[in-house]
């Protein structure tokens, strides 16, 4: 009979797999970026820039010497690529074939969102084929004549459609401005471009999720992916792994059935706990909100899309992880012109912890985060409970 692990054991297992226990879990430098991405399976790209963007933040959390240009270089080296996972993401180039079902779906559909004019699509792809990589702004009408069908907006939609259906790929970026080129000119010749069967796709999703998190549920594997066929195939893969003894199924009170890698149960007690981590709201470790609530008893929602008057914590709160416990969240803003990081509102929800246990680590994490954001000073605006403000402020200015 399988021994049911304590919830703390599951917490440690998944944090270790996610690279949130050790200081340099995946190494250092640019090579660590690729290693991290291969572990996490994807890295969500986000355009919000109230602080350093989410894809950079997620990597910095795991790679202390991370530089933002590493991602651009890995794209140029054709080791990673951009496409849609459950959102816009970076993925290892070795996983390209598993994006093909989505590409083919877009190509064969008349999706309203990607319903670009076919004449514009032909013009755009012919231009790129003849003249080389292009940005959306390269298609702006030089004469600004009203009604020019090749002007920016329809061309941008055509670029997005051609990208989503796999004819174009992103060859690089200038900030958030994407450069597109023909897929055939970007993909290395060694990459497998055979579309996976439905069962192969299910196996990929199961194994990458287990590899990234250590354990999973059916709901997490099929997150934002529709269709009974996929669920059926995922269940077939899980059953096969169970029969081989590679995973075990756990029934834990209050949780959905959990599938866990068998070898992780044997070494979970030896995982050491580290200090404070300030996580991006789009960090892979917390992107599945129900899972975080069940495993860590932390109810996290990003409130930037919520009307201001209805926000409970703030516009862009970062979860605060201390060891294997989420102790609160902090709403931050980088005032880049003034080189100042403002902690607009800090909410400490785990008040049972003695302040001396976590405040020194928190202050150190905030200072490093400020430096990562190009800031040289700190401003602490609001703290809850208010009684902690004085001691936290003192730690931050020392």
In which region does residue 166 sit, left (phi positive, over 0), alpha (psi from -120 to 50) or beta (all else)?
left
Beta carbons of 378 and 395 less than 8 angstroms apart: no
Separation of alpha carbons 218 and 231, rounded Å? 8
Residue 362 lies in a domain: yes
Q: What is the pLDDT along the chain (398 residues), one digit of tens a residue?
A: 455 667 888 999 999 999 999 999 999 999 999 999 999 999 999 989 999 999 999 999 999 999 999 999 999 999 999 999 989 999 999 999 999 999 999 999 887 778 899 999 999 999 999 999 999 999 876 444 454 444 568 899 999 999 999 999 999 998 788 999 999 999 999 999 999 999 999 999 999 999 999 999 998 998 878 889 999 999 999 999 999 999 999 987 767 789 999 999 876 666 667 789 999 999 999 999 999 999 999 999 999 999 999 999 999 999 999 999 999 999 999 999 999 999 999 999 998 899 999 999 999 999 999 999 999 999 999 999 999 999 999 999 98
Q: Are residues 75 and 112 in the same domain?
A: no
Would you state the pLDDT for residue 3? Answer: 57
Residue 290 lies in a domain: no
Q: What is the 3-state secondary structure (H, E, C) of 79-128?
A: CEEEEECCCEEEEEHHHHHHHHHHHHHHHHCCCCCCCCCHHHHHHHHHHH
Q: Are residues 182 and 311 in the same domain?
A: no
Q: Which residue has the tokens 């059953």?
A: 239
Q: Are residues 200 and 136 in the same domain?
A: no
- In which domain, by residue range, is 343 found? 301-397
Angle at which helices 100-108 and 152-164 pack, to 10 degrees?
A: 130
Would you state the pLDDT for residue 272? Answer: 67
Q: Are residues 62 and 124 in the same domain?
A: no
Q: What is the CATH number of the domain that holds 117?
A: 1.10.10
Omega before residue 315 within 30° of 0, cis? no
Closest CA relative to residue 160, chosen from 124, 186, 184: 124
**Largest interatomic CA distance in the chain:** 75
Residue 289 lies in a domain: no
Q: Are residues 308 and 380 in the same domain?
A: yes
Number of domains in the chain: 3
Q: Which residue has the tokens 């999703």?
A: 205
Residue 91 lies in a domain: yes
Residue 208 lies in a domain: yes
134 CA to centre of own chain:
26
Q: Are residues 158 and 85 in the same domain?
A: no
Domain boundary residue among 241, 259, 280?
241
Q: Are residues 380 and 234 in the same domain?
A: no
Domain boundary residue among 186, 211, 229?
186
Q: Are residues 92 and 199 in the same domain?
A: yes
Separation of alpha carbons 262 and 91, rounded Å? 26
Q: Are residues 391 and 349 in the same domain?
A: yes
Q: Are residues 125 and 72 in the same domain?
A: no
Q: Are residues 30 and 168 in the same domain?
A: no
Separation of alpha carbons 93 and 238, rounded Å? 25
Q: Are residues 131 and 208 in the same domain?
A: no
The C-alpha torsion from 4 through 5 and 8 to 10, rounded to 10°, is -100
């Amino acid at each position: 009979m399988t021994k049911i692990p304590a919830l703390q054991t599951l917490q440690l297992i998944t944090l270790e797999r996610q690279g949130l226990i050790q200081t340099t879990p995946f190494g250092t430098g640019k090579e660590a970026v690729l290693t991290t991405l291969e572990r996490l399976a994807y890295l969500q790209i986000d355009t919000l820039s109230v602080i350093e963007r989410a894809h950079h933040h997620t990597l910095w959390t795991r790679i202390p010497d991370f530089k933002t240009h590493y991602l651009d270089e890995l794209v140029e080296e054709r080791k990673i690529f951009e496409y849609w996972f459950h959102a816009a993401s970076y993925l290892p180039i070795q996983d390209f074939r598993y994006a093909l079902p989505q590409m083919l779906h877009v190509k064969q559909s008349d999706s309203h969102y990607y319903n670009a004019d076919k004449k514009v699509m032909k013009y755009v792809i012919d231009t790129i084929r003849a003249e080389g990589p292009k940005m959306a702004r390269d298609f702006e009408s030089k004469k600004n004549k009203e009604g020019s069908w090749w002007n920016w907006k329809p061309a941008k939609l055509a670029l997005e459609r051609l990208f989503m259906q796999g004819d174009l790929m992103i060859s690089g970026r200038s900030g958030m401005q994407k450069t597109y080129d023909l897929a055939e000119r970007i993909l290395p010749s060694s990459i497998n471009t055979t579309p996976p069967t439905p069962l192969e796709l299910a196996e990929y999703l199961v194994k990458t999720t287990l590899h990234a998190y250590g354990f999973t549920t059916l709901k997490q594997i099929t997150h934002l992916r529709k269709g009974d066929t996929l669920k059926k195939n995922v269940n077939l893969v899980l059953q096969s792994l169970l029969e081989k003894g590679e995973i075990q199924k756990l029934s834990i009170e209050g949780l959905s059935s959990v599938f866990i890698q068998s070898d992780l149960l044997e070494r979970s007690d030896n995982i050491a706990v580290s200090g404070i981590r300030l996580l991006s709201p789009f960090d892979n470790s917390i992107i599945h909100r129900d899972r975080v609530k069940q495993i860590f008893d932390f109810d996290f929602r990003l409130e930037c899309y919520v009307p201001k008057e209805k926000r409970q914590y703030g516009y862009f709160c970062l979860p605060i992880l201390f060891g294997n416990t989420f102790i609160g969240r902090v709403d931050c803003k980088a005032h880049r012109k003034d080189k100042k990081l403002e902690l607009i509102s800090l909410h400490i929800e785990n008040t049972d912890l003695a302040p001396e246990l976590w405040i020194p680590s928190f202050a150190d994490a905030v200072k490093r985060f400020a430096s990562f954001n190009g800031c040289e000073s700190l401003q602490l605006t609001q703290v809850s409970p208010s009684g902690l403000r004085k001691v936290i402020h003192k730690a931050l200015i020392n």
